């Protein structure tokens, strides 16, 4: 992902590695590791904001995969209104194991940033099913991904869950783009009842419009390049679309 951003231009990228704190098979660590990780990230966010050449939280874009998606959301809990609000959070198939708790304040949702976009690829299995962002994208139905069939069920489910990362990475520099259409339910999508107008399609991934609201569905190829391009009548590319990496004033 870092290399993909640098191909596009100059970025300041900070990578948070909490892998040593969440080692398999001890899922009970999910209870405390995200709290510790999010506290550390929030301290860094505040330090960056107060630095003489700093950047306010409103101009930051946090990207989190699985448990990391909820960690990004938890960072918001440590920021006061005077300190600002995160500009954007992208949740890459947020894990269902962390989401299953009763304390909703710890789950990634639309209140955690000016714009929250969530991409679902293993929904209902390893990833959460419900829509909780400003814009939620369900890829290939949101649960099963093409090219993920394996000899064991665990490998297949793990592939569905992790496939979200290469989708997002490709979206950073894709000329075709992952164009998604709005649809209220999975059943309506599968039955073909949703026929979006060309103007209703939005890009999924890095270049999503921050005006996007609701639930969207998108299909991909089984092998890279995964993006299929614009499915509507009039040809559009990712290059001539609106770009909203972070909140713009």
136 is catalytic: no
Annotated catalytic residue within 114, 161, 171, 244: 161
93 as an active site residue: the answer is yes
CA distance 39 to 119: 24
DSSP the chain: -HHHHHHHS---------GGGS-TT-GGGGGTHHHHHHHHHHHHHHHHHHSTT---GGG-EEEEETHHHHHHHHHGGG--GGG---SEEEEES-BHHHHTSS-GGGS--GGGSSEEEEEESSBTTTB--S--SSEEEEETTSS--TT---SSHHHHHHHHHHTHHHHHHHHHH-SS-EEEEE-S-HHHHHTT-----GGG-EEESTT--TT--EEEEE---SSSS------SSS---STTS---SS---
Which among 93, 107, 112, 136 is annotated as catalytic? 93
Distance of CA 247 to the CA centre of its chain: 16
Q: Is 132 annotated as catalytic?
A: no
What is the maximum alpha-carbon separation in the chain? 55
- The residue from 38, 42, 61, 66 that is catalytic is 66
* Beta pairing, strands 214-218 & 135-139: parallel
Task: Indicate which residues carry an active-site annotation.
Answer: 66, 93, 161
């Amino acid at each position: 992902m870092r290399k993909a951003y640098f191909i596009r231009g100059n970025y300041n990228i900070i990578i948070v590695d909490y892998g040593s704190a969440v080692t398999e098979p001890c899922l009970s660590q999910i209870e405390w590791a995200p709290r510790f990780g999010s506290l550390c990230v929030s301290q860094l966010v505040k330090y960056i904001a107060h630095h003489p050449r700093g950047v306010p939280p409103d101009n930051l874009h946090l990207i989190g995969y699985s448990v990391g998606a909820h960690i990004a959301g938890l960072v918001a809990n440590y920021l006061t209104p005077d300190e600002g609000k995160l500009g954007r959070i992208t949740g890459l198939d947020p894990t269902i194991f962390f989401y299953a708790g009763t304390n909703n304040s710890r789950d990634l949702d639309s209140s955690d940033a000016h714009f929250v976009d969530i991409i679902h690829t293993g929904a209902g299995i390893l990833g959460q099913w419900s829509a909780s962002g400003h814009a939620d994208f369900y890829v290939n139905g949101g649960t099963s991904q093409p090219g993920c069939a394996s000899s064991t069920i665990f490998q297949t489910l793990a592939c569905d869950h992790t496939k979200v990362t290469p989708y997002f990475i490709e979206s950073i520099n894709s000329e075709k783009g992952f164009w998604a259409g709005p649809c209220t339910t999975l059943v309506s999508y599968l039955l073909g009842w949703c026929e979006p107008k060309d103007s209703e399609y939005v890009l999924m991934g890095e270049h999503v419009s921050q005006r996007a609201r609701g639930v969207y569905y998108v299909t991909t190829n089984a092998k890279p390049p995964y993006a299929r391009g614009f499915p509507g009548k009039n040809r559009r590319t990712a290059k001539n679309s609106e770009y909203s990496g972070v909140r713009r004033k």
